[in-house]
């Protein structure tokens, strides 16, 4: 009789601690490791993809292979100075038409990228014909050529304003001989 009583107490204790244990594991699952808790992604690569991680890829630390200049496209791939990592490729954003001035900024139509700005080389007075070719004072850019509108027979008074054959251009007007 006495041993039966002890047995029931033991059973009760075991059962209640089992219930407590399963309740605990049901309501508080172990949290995923996070970088701030001192975990490194070389041991736990998953920490880079956990919600709240600023960067999704693991190169010893969490990085973004799409835009990290020290890990561009793959771990350890360093962009040379003057180049920027755009979508995992090192590009010169001063010159690249598809990434002009910033990653993903694409120049329209036939525009070129000069010093990180999209320009029309045919008409731009700071970049006439080629990047950096500046028109001097009172000069203009027509068809990518630096011209003086006051005297140029093909661009007299304005771009494409052609003087008739034999006529000169003076003061921006075609003379009649």
Ligand X SMILES: *[C@@H]1O[C@H](CO)[C@@H](O)[C@H](O)[C@H]1NC(C)=O
Give the residue among 103, 138, 96, 143 at the shortest CA–CA distance from 118: 96
| CA within 13 Å, CB half, 131 | 13
Q: Smallest distance, Å, CB 29 to ligand X?
A: 42
Q: Smallest distance, Å, CB 107 to ligand X?
A: 11
Residue 99 as a binder of ligand X (CB under 6 A): the answer is yes
Among 30-38, 66-74, 86-94, 126-134, which window interacts with ligand X (CB under 6 A)? 86-94
| CA pair distance 93, 63, nearest whole angstrom | 21
The residues, any chain, with a CB within 8 Å of residue 65's CB and separated by 6 or more, are 57, 59, 71, 72, 73, 74, 75, 88
Q: Smallest distance, Å, CB 99 to ligand X?
A: 5
Residue 84 as a binder of ligand X (CB under 6 A): the answer is no
**89, 122, 153, 154: residue in contact with ligand X (rule CB under 6 A):** 89
**49, 98, 120, 161: residue in contact with ligand X (rule CB under 6 A):** 98
| CA pair distance 6, 88, nearest whole angstrom | 70
Contact set with ligand X (CB under 6 A):
86-87, 89, 91, 96, 98-99
């Amino acid at each position: 009789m006495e041993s039966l009583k002890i047995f029931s107490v033991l059973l009760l204790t075991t059962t209640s601690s089992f219930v407590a244990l399963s309740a605990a594991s049901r309501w508080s699952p172990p949290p995923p490791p996070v970088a701030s808790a001192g975990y490194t992604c070389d041991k736990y690569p998953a920490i880079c993809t956990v919600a709240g991680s600023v960067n999704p890829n693991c190169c010893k630390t969490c990085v973004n292979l799409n835009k990290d200049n020290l890990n561009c496209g793959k771990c350890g791939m360093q962009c040379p100075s003057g180049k920027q990592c755009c979508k995992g490729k090192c590009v010169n954003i001063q010159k690249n038409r598809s990434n002009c001035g910033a990653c993903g900024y694409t120049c329209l139509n036939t525009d070129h990228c000069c010093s990180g700005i999209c320009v029309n080389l045919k008409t731009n007075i700071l970049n006439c014909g080629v990047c950096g070719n500046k028109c001097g004072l009172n000069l203009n850019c027509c068809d990518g050529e630096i011209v003086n509108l006051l005297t140029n027979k093909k661009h007299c008074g304005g771009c494409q304003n052609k003087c008739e054959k034999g006529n000169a251009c003076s003061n921006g007007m075609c003379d009649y001989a």
